Chain A
């Protein structure tokens, strides 16, 4: 087992553990803290598979902005920040559905050819050139979606709405 495989194994275990913990701790603020660890951990995985720009984006957008936005959401909707959530029962049906989906997808994954080919690294220069020429339409579409979504968000939270 090479050092990279070991690193990936540890990072993957931390990712799954923090995702589970985030959904199962009782304090909502602790949930946000665990999900922050989860985002940073995934950024480390992105660095590991030679996608450094995406790692930086993950750190900035997810670990930075999304975490703070979620904390803000808790802050403005609660009288006391630290108050425990009521336990939501772990229903048999949702658990069975989640497990069944995991088993099904894992079986499908087993059908893939187990490849050991080296992973290609792409420089940030190549990525930005492609993003602003070949795949420019993606950026335009993203901009349009963001514009519409933010207009909708402002409409939802404005004062004096019925």
Chain B
């Protein structure tokens, strides 16, 4: 049983989301983009787990539902990394580099 304040948790996940946004906007290496997305996913998972931990549940879901959603999110993040890695390999084969600035053949 813990009694940690909501401001610390949501503040932490907000900070992580801001870092993730910054990374997505500035980084041009595909792997760094994947890492930024993972940081953002972890911020979301942290929020779900914290709101699941309220004794009455949050307004929208109860505790077990929040933890179930967190499990699904972890699975989704792992899947996303697998697909991202496949894109990295395909990009590397096609362009010889994993810089996303060069992956612009759809852009005319």
Contact = CB atoms under 8 A, between A and B. Distances in A.
Contact of B67 (A45, A51, A115, A149): A51
Interface in A7-21: 8-9, 12, 15-16, 19-20
A45 B9 CA distance: 10
A138 B70 CA distance: 11
A23 B36 contact: yes
B61 to A, nearest CB: 10
Contacts of A95: 22
A37 interface: no
Give the size category of B's interface with A: 35 or more
B19 A131 contact: no
B57 to A, nearest CB: 8
A107 to B, nearest CB: 10
Contacts of B70: 51, 54
A76 B90 CA distance: 11
- Tell me what chain A mostly uses at the interface: helix, strand, loop, or mixed: helix
A125 B63 CA distance: 14
Give the size category of A's interface with B: 35 or more
B17 A49 contact: no
A150 interface: yes
B56 to A, nearest CB: 8
Nearest to B92: A77
Contact of B6 (A12, A22, A114): A114
B72 A88 contact: no
Interface of B: 1-12, 14-23, 25-29, 31-32, 34-36, 38-39, 42, 45-46, 49-50, 52-55, 63-65, 67-72, 74-90, 92, 98
Complex A-B, nearest 9 residue pairs according to Cβ-Cβ distance, in ascending order: A94-B25, A153-B86, A102-B18, A98-B22, A119-B53, A130-B64, A156-B86, A105-B14, A135-B68
9 contacts: A22-B35, A22-B39, A23-B23, A49-B4, A77-B89, A98-B18, A112-B6, A115-B6, A146-B75
Given A115-B5, A119-B2, A154-B86, 14 more contacts: A12-B12, A28-B31, A49-B9, A51-B49, A54-B70, A58-B74, A62-B38, A88-B27, A122-B52, A142-B72, A142-B75, A145-B79, A153-B85, A156-B89
